[in-house]
Amino acid sequence: MQNVELKKGSAELMILSLVEDQPRHGYDISKLIEQRSAGTVKFRVASLYPLLYRLEQRGWIDGRWVEKPGVRRRRYYRLTKDGRRVLAAQRRGWQEFVHAISRITGWENA
C-alpha cells in the first residue's frame, strides 16, 4: 500500500519539492527521494520518468538538456511558475490531510 496508493498521491508533491530550489536531473531526484526517506520510498525508472514527463506536459516542470565538458548530457528539470503555485496548493492540502489523519488516529495525543 505504501508503495502504491500513498506514492501515487504524494509522488508529484515530492518531485515538485525537490526541484523547487534548484534544477535536478532524474537520477539525482530518485537518489534524493531514496536517501531522504531512508530507503522507505523508492522510485524505479519505469515509474519515475513517466511521472516526470507528465508533470512536464502539464507545464509544472520544465526539462532541459544540459551538456558539460567530459560528462554525458543530462536532462535537468526545474519548477515553472505554474508548478510553484501547484506545489504551494499541494503542500497545504497535504498538511491538512496529515493533520486530519493524526487527529483521527490519535497520534497527536500520543
Partner 1 sequence: MPENARWKDEVARRLASLRLPPEREAEIIDELAGHLQDDFRRLCASGVAEPEALEIALEELNGRPALAEAIRRTERTAPSTLTLGTPKASASLDFWRDLRYALRSFRRSPGFTALAVLSLGLGIGGNAAMFGILNAVLIRPLPYAHPDRLVHADHSGYYPPGGVVALQRGSRTMELAGYTADLELNLTGQGEPLRITGSAVSANLFQVLGVGVEVGRDFRPGEDEAGRDNLVILSHDLWRERFAGDRNIIGRVLNLGGVPRQVLGIAPAGFAFPDSRTRFWIPLHLDPRDSSAYWAQGFMPVIGRLRSGATLSQAQQEIASLSREMLRQFPYPMGKDWAAQMTVTPLQQFLRSNIRLELLVLQCALGLVLLIACANVAGLLLGRAISRQKEIALRVALGASRTRIVRQLLTESLVLAFAGGSLGIVIAFVADMVLRTALSATLNGGAPGGPGWQILVFAGVLSLFTGLIFGLAPALIASRQDLAHAIKTGGQRTTGVARVRLRSALIVGEVALAVLLTTSAGLLMRSLWKLAQVDPGFQPEHLLTLRVSPNQSLCQRRDACVALYDEVLRRAREVPGVQDAAAANTLPLAAGVPASAVKVEGLPYVPAERGAPMFWAGAVTPGYFRLMNIPILQGRALDYGDVEKASPVVVVSAATARRYWPGQNPIGKHVELVWEDRWWTVVGVAGDVRQFGLAGGTPDYIRGAMYMSYAQAEDTNRELPAVMALIVRTNGDPIRVVSGIRDVLWQLNPNVPVDEIRSMVSLVNESTQQSRAMMWLFMSFAIVALVLAAIGAYGVVSYATAQRTFEIGVRMALGAARGNIFGSVLGQSFRLVLVGLALGLVSSLLLTRLLATFLYGTGTHDPITLAAVCLVLMAVALFAGYAPARKAVGIDPLIALRSD
Our finding on whether 6 is near partner 1 (CB under 8 A) is no
Nearer to partner 1, 20 or 49 (CB): 49
CB of residue 80 vs partner 1: minimum separation in angstroms? 8
With CB under 8 A as the contact rule, the residue among 49, 78, 90, 91 that binds partner 1 is 49
Binders of partner 1 among residues 62 to 81 (CB under 8 A) are 72-75
Report how many residues bind partner 1 under the rule CB under 8 A. 20
Our finding on whether 84 is near partner 1 (CB under 8 A) is no
Nearest C-alpha neighbor of 98 from the set 89, 108, 88? 108
C-alpha to C-alpha distance for 66 and 74, rounded to whole angstroms: 6
